[in-house]
Amino acid sequence: MGWSQDLFRTMWRALSKEVKELVGTDQFGNKYYYIPAYKNWR
């Protein structure tokens, strides 16, 4: 389940063209991002 969520996130990031800065990861390997200015691509 984790890898499919990663895949979805990667594809969504590519589609939505969001600007993200990687903040860090937790002990489970989840990545946390800072999104400076969110703009809806729709």
How far apart (Å, rounded) are the C-alpha atoms in residues 12 and 34? 16
Q: Does residue 29 fall inside a structural domain?
A: yes
In a domain, 39, yes or no: no
State the residue range of the domain holding 28: 2-34
b vs e for 8-26, b when ≥16 Cβ sit within 10 Å of the residue's Cβ?
Answer: eeeeeeeeeebeeeeeeee
Tell me what pLDDT residue 5 has.
83
pLDDT attached to residue 15: 65
Give residue-wise pLDDT tens across range 4-31: 888 887 777 666 666 677 888 989 988 8
User: Would residue 25 count as lying in a domain?
Assistant: yes
Total structural domains within the chain: 1
